[in-house]
Amino acid sequence: MYSKLSSVLVATIFVSNVLSSPITKDSITALSLPSSFSRHIRVRAEPNTGDEDLNPDEEPHPNKLEKVERAFNDAFELAGYATTVIDDPNRQNIFTKYFNEEDRANVRKVFATIWTQPSDPDAPAADGGSPFLGEIMVQQADSRNLCGDPRLIAYLDQNNAPNDVALVLCSRAFNKKGVTTIQGQDPQGPGAENHYLTCDSIGDNVSFRMNSLGMTLLHEYTHYNRMTQSIFNAPIIDQEDASGNPIGYGPVQVRTLDKALAKLNADSYAYFASEALWTVLCQKDYGDPVAGQDDNDPDCNNTSCSG
């Protein structure tokens, strides 16, 4: 019965920490850990937005600013679930679909650094949100004029860090839905399907359907060198082959990528975290992504989104 609930309901229950539904003991255990994370991360650093670039009064609601603010929450939830699943002895197999076992502690540190204080990334009770996130401005303005590429969903311009760091969301990014409650749209109300991912809508395999706006933010966060570069003493990039072709974008490539490169590949983090979150929220194991089916995102020209 529980598995038939939509993830909207599950996520809403989870986020508001009201576990009133008739769910099994196992799922209470699975959900209770991240719920406590939610309480702790309400007071935290997060990126900035500009009133002129993302107008709070834009109609209709939920507007772009509201989508971005919800995505801030979703990115933290994704990072929180990723650390939870890394630590869960019953879910160790998800990690090794993406990364080498020997990188477990440092991959965990990337996620923990994003949603908690970097001074103590092993302390999940901290009022998290890396202070480095506060150096980032999320904007629509395409300052480097790159969004004409129909595959590009977002990019991070950190050439002038720390004083001027832009996380640019291309217009297609706003097609992406999310997980946690969004202001201006009741998760149970009419039109909710346009703004919430659900266990039913994301299908049975790991796929682009899991790609939320928050997942896109998480991808870009991992690129921010001031926040993450010290963990591997190397930047987390988008891996390419010797000819410059991308080999690390989307659900299929992150599974076929050489695992020695995965720890330095942004979408490996984004897709691992998404599989972790949905596996726990929907209490379901997902099939492997199928090329040409699960990586052909219509929002990104029927290919994997790049960013």
Among 88, 135, 238, 297, binds Zn ion (CB under 5 A): 238
Q: Which stretch binds Zn ion (CB under 5 A): 5-13, 111-119, 130-138, 265-273?
A: 265-273
Q: How far is the CB of 162 from Zn ion (least distance, A)?
A: 19
User: Which CB sits closer to Zn ion, 128 or 307?
Assistant: 307
Token code pair at residue 165 = 């760091």
Among 5, 30, 41, 266, binds Zn ion (CB under 5 A): 266
Q: How far is the CB of 270 from Zn ion (least distance, A)?
A: 9
Sheet holding 136-139, edge to edge: 48-49, 136-139, 164-169, 154-160
Q: Could you tell me the sign of the dihedral formed by the alpha carbons of 306, 158, 218, 195, in that order?
A: negative
In 3D, which of 82, 74, 80 has the Cα closest to residue 36? 80
Rounded-to-integer distance, Cα 209 and Cα 43, Å: 30
Buried b (16+ CB within 10 A) or exposed e, 268-278: bbbbbbbbbbb
User: Which CB sits closer to Zn ion, 279 or 304?
Assistant: 304
Q: How far is the CB of 198 from Zn ion (least distance, A)?
A: 27
Q: How far is CA 279 from CA 117, 130, 161, 234, in A?
A: 26, 26, 36, 30
User: Which CB sits closer to Zn ion, 13 or 215?
Assistant: 215
Q: How far is CA 266 from CA 110, 156, 250, in A?
A: 11, 12, 10
Q: Which stretch binds Zn ion (CB under 5 A): 4-12, 181-189, 202-210, 260-268?
A: 260-268
Please name the helix (run of DSSP H) or strand (run of DSSP E) that holds residue 33, with its range, or none.
Answer: helix 25-40
- Under rule CB under 5 A, residue 248 binds Zn ion: no
- Under rule CB under 5 A, residue 305 binds Zn ion: no
User: Which CB sits closer to Zn ion, 103 or 238?
Assistant: 238
- Under rule CB under 5 A, residue 307 binds Zn ion: yes
Residues at the contact surface with Zn ion, assessed by CB under 5 A: 238, 266, 307
